[in-house]
Structure 1
Amino acid sequence: MQKILLDLLGISERRSILWRSPCKVCQGFLLWRTLLGVDAVTRYFDGLVQYGEGYDHRIHFSGSVETGDISITIGAVTMEDNGTYACSVRLRDDPPREQNPKSVLQLLLVAPSKPECKILGTAQYGETINLTCVSHEGSPTPTYTWKSFNVQNEPRVLPHTQGQQITLKNISADTSGFYICTSTNVVGTEFCNMTVSVVPPSMNIALYAGIIGGVVAAIVVIGIIAYCCCCRESKEEDYEMTLLAGFDNISTPEQHSREQEDRNEPSVRRMPPRQESTGEDVENA
């Protein structure tokens, strides 16, 4: 088995891959397939070429099969193309025998993608949190290392510096700072960083105070609206009563005529009753 490392500079740059097989053939039948695959990658028989599912327009023979070069080139490679490929050859004049396919191990080299960093847990005093770092692409599988700096941007020692996840226990204000994860393989390196800010549990009081303040403000607003509505209804009732009183002061034509007649009648002055003199008054006079 030949082990061939195939360099791919980033998964987005779909480079072609070339196998150089030691197999030689003049005329006959040859087959390329993956050891884990059911279908063939490609077949060749006396000038007729067939392609397996998913390989059409992606694979072709690099040289001249008639002259013995049965190397193939696969384009637009993906991580799914990783694996071991076997080449089987049967010449026209070969006697019946058990086939002994030549195999080639294809190892696609892909630089790590930018890792995704997360904080799992609540960053409060006394809690335990996990910092995770994952590159979703990369071949071979990337390794992960961690570094940390305090809030003054000074490096500090971590209890664990390897792996996709590190655990920080019984965290405090000293845990706050910057954490950098580096994802590395033989092709390249990528990193991500995150900021951890540890707060005391009492910080939740501010949240509750904000909620209570919002509720109180809503109650005050509702009270003001209700008061304005009541004042408006009171003013409307006063206006209606004033309007009704005005209607009561308006006299009908008959009432107006009688009032006019009463004003035209001469006023009769009443004299005090005259007292008659008695005989005693005359005698006294």
Structure 2
Amino acid sequence: MEEHLVSHGHGGASFRCPGSQCLDDFSVASGTVWVAADAISVETTQEVLRAARGKSVTLPCTYITSAPDRDGLIQWDKLLRSETERVVTWTFEKQNYVYGPRYDNRVKISNDVQLSDASITIDQLTMDDNGTYECSVSLLSDLEGTSKARVRLLVLVPPSTPACGIEGETVIGNDIKLTCLSAEGSPSPQYSWKSYNAQNQPRPLTQPASGQPLILKNITTDMAGYYVCTSSNDVGVESCNITVAPRPPSMNIALYAGIAGGAFGALIIIGIIVYCCCCREKDEKAEDAEDTRPNRAAYQEPREQRTEVSRGREDEQDYRHGDQRSSGRSSPEQPFQ
């Protein structure tokens, strides 16, 4: 409720009374003077601020009070889901800073803080600085009214170059998905697609929901060409492209090459096994033939056969001796050797 301070005359008594009733009932011919004593009011000129990463931003906050003394403090906090994080506290009396852990030497208060300006400037913005901040002005001589105001900070980061890809085989009749994603960007990037045929002429394309893959069903050669994905937000635009070249199932070279390679390898292995088996069989036959060959050194003729051979040799010797005696009679005598 609004109060009025009423003073009567020079050096007269003064008192407070609520509302306008006091003014209606109090009238003095010599003149009456009244002064409004309003409670403190804290506000911000902008509810949402945007600033680029790595830059600086000023969070506005002003306060209005009729209190003549500045005996209190200004405090900024970052509002989290379940708690608050101190940014900085500044005291009127000592005019010193108390920083939060992440804001040490990155935050400074306005030079006009004594003139109702409680704004702060944050340097070297990072993605962690995104969020809602609360400005609070506490004066011991003015504790009523609105002492807090909030401002939201959105740190802007341009989209990184998106990564494009194809999910599925580009074989005629198949369904494939074209994907596109930027690793970073604030605010979150929006995605859009464009399509061009082999002659680089644009053609109509049904857009998927932003961030969703572009699905091409039952692809044909008419769908061949270039597909361009654009990733954009308030501070930047990046893009990537994909070449789609549908091929007939009979030209699935990778599959057939794999089958042919596997078959060729199997034939080589079978050939090696057959060769080894043949060599082993040949060696076994050679060993068997060696085992069946008679041992001449250990062979002994039968006794009867040895007797006949010995008798034949004796007869042959007798015959030779008889022949020599016959020859000696008819030829001249030879001297004895």
TM-score, with length taken from structure 2: 0.62
Q: Quote the Cα distance in structure 2 between the aligned partners of 1:199 and 1:131.
A: 17
Equivalent in 177, 196, 200 of residue 248 of structure 2: 200
C-alpha root-mean-square deviation of aligned residues, in Å?
Answer: 3.8
Q: 1:110 aligns with which of 150, 154, 157?
A: 157
Letter of the 1:178 counterpart: Y
Q: Structure 1 counterpart of 2:272, which letter? A: I
Q: Does 1:185 align with 2:228?
A: no
Q: In structure 2, how many angstroms separate the alpha carbons of the residues matched to 1:247 and 1:56?
A: 106
Q: Please give the per-residue CA displacement for 1:123-180, whole angstroms capped at 9, x wherever unaligned.
A: 3334443333232322233332322222233332323387334333342101011111
Of residues 84-93 and 72-81 in structure 1, the stretch that sits farther from structure 2 once superposed is: 72-81
Q: What SS does the aligned partner of 2:315 have?
A: coil
Q: Which residue of 2 aligns with 1:32?
A: 76
Q: Give the Cα separation in 2 of the matches to 1:119 and 1:23.
A: 57
Whether 1:44 aligns to 2:84 is no
Equivalent residues in 2 for 1:134-145, closer than 5 Å: 134-145=181-192
Quickly say closer, same or farther: Cα 1:31–1:263, change in 2 above 3 A.
farther
In structure 2, list runs of 5 or more residues that go unmatched: 1-43, 320-337
How far the C-alpha of 1:55 sits from its partner, in A, is 1.7
1:223 aligned residue: 270
**Residue 216 to residue 126, structure 1, CA distance change in 2 (3 Å):** closer
- Supply the distance in 2 between the matched residues of 1:208 and 1:140 (Cα, whole angstroms): 44
Provide the secondary structure at the position in 2 that maps to 1:234: helix
Q: In 2, distance between residues paired with 1:190 and 1:120?
A: 22
Report the alpha carbon displacement of residue 88 of structure 1 after superposing the two structures with TM.
0.6
TM alignment of 1:70-109, pairs within 5 A:
70-94=118-142, 96-109=143-156
* Gap change, CA 1:2 and 1:109, over 3 Å in 2: farther
How far residue 245 of structure 1 moved from its aligned partner, in angstroms, is: 6.2
Offset from partner CA, 1:243-263 (integer Å, 9 cap, x none): 5467813348x99xxx9xx78
Higher relative contact order (CA 8 A, sep 6+): 1
- 1:182 alignment partner AA: T
CA distance in 1, matches of 2:124, 2:139: 31
Describe the SS at the equivalent of 2:240.
Answer: strand
Give the distance between the partners of 1:242 and 1:126, measured in 2 at CA. 67
Provide the identity percentage: 35
CA distance, structure 1, for counterparts of residue 296 and residue 105 of structure 2 = 104
* 2-structure distance, mates of 1:171, 1:264: 107
Instruction: Confirm or deny: 8 A CA contact 2:159 2:236 kept in the other structure.
Output: yes
Paired residues of 1:178 and 1:196 also in contact (CA < 8 A): yes
* AA at the equivalent of 1:199: R
Residue 129 of structure 1 aligns with which residue? 176
* Cα distance in 2, alignment partners of residues 133 and 212 from structure 1: 34
Runs of 5+ unmatched residues, structure 1? 272-285
Distance 2:51 2:165 in 1: 30
Residue of structure 1 in register with 2:45 after alignment: 2
Shift of 1:241: 4.2
Matching residue's letter, 1:180: V
Per the alignment, do residues 15 and 263 of structure 1 end up closer, same or farther by CA in structure 2, a change over 3 Å counting? farther
SS in 1 for 2:195: strand
Q: CA deviation at 1:198?
A: 1.8
Q: Distance in 1 between matches of 2:174 and 2:184?
A: 32
Letter in 2 for 1:181: C
How many residue pairs were aligned?
A: 260
Going from structure 1 to structure 2, the CA distance change for 1:93 and 1:251 (only over 3 Å counts) comes to: same
Task: Name the structure 1 match of 2:203.
Answer: 156
1:106 and 1:228 mapped to 2: Cα distance?
80
Q: Which amino acid aligns with 1:103?
A: R
The change in CA–CA distance for 1:201 and 1:27 in structure 2 (over 3 A counts) is farther
Residues 5, 109 of structure 1: 8 Å contact kept = no
Distance 1:102 1:21, change over 3 A: same
